[in-house]
Structure 1
């Protein structure tokens, strides 16, 4: 099983868009993003650190583990939830009054495949580049997880 590499675009407003086609139905992709146990397996979160209240206004948190063993906590809330179709995740950013919002859109396709689009607008080119790199790594790990391969 494989995923087709999609397009990446970045514009002067410090946003990016990532497109992929995953070899899994939309419901499986949705569960991977919204089930704490599954998310921890593929996203690099510390075991037992993921909490999700997947509804508009519901809170989430996770402690991410870096390849060198460092840990950093993330928190936020769900801004929009349309099961198996659209998820807008607010991520708390220290020093900023408004959360950074990442949008996931799922499009069920023939053959139990799903198109996924990840979008985010950032406040600087540096933030955009870091967020895009992180989202690219997440999509690579998600692809491996859905294919049943190890994610490291």
Structure 2
């Protein structure tokens, strides 16, 4: 996995890249099917709802390693099936949602290059978001191998 952190005029960014042993359509389904997403994204059973289309809403309750629950909501800003998904996440106390982009690029031998990019307001928010995304990608990798 490769990681890049940057500080731009408009915020603090990170980019994570990973090559997965699964075709892009399978990786897409893992990100956009509630039952599959719940299995690898640390979600409480039955908490994931997805309307995967531009402007469509989503929600999920993430369960932390210590058993705490963190409800999340948002919308889909961009949906290009099997290629690109931009997820807008509502953040309490912020006027605008945080956006995370997931890009998929098919590679040889039914592998997929996945790139996650997010810009946050502070270095601390970026570091926390990057840590969470790294955990998600680790779990997604294991889920796709199962």
Q: Under TM normalisation by the shorter chain, which class is it?
A: over 0.9
Match of 1:9 in 2: 4
- 1:73-108, Cα deviation, whole Å (9 max, x unpaired): 000000000000000000000111110000000000
Normalising by the residue count of structure 1, what TM-score does the alignment of the two structures yield? 0.93
- CA deviations over 1:129-151 (Å, ceiling 9, x no partner): 00000000000000000000xxx
Q: Which runs of 4+ in 1 moved over 3 A?
A: none
1:78-97 aligned at under 5 Å gives the runs: 78-97=76-95
Q: 2: CA distance between counterparts of 1:116 and 1:72?
A: 25
Deviations 1:21-75 (A, max 9, x none): 0000000000000000000000000000000000000000000001111111000
- Structure 2's unaligned 5+ residue stretches are none
Point out where structure 1 has 5 or more consecutive residues left out of the alignment.
none
Compute the TM-score of the two structures, normalised by the length of structure 2.
Answer: 0.97
Number of residue pairs the alignment of both structures matches: 143
Q: 1:73 aligns with which of 71, 74, 81?
A: 71
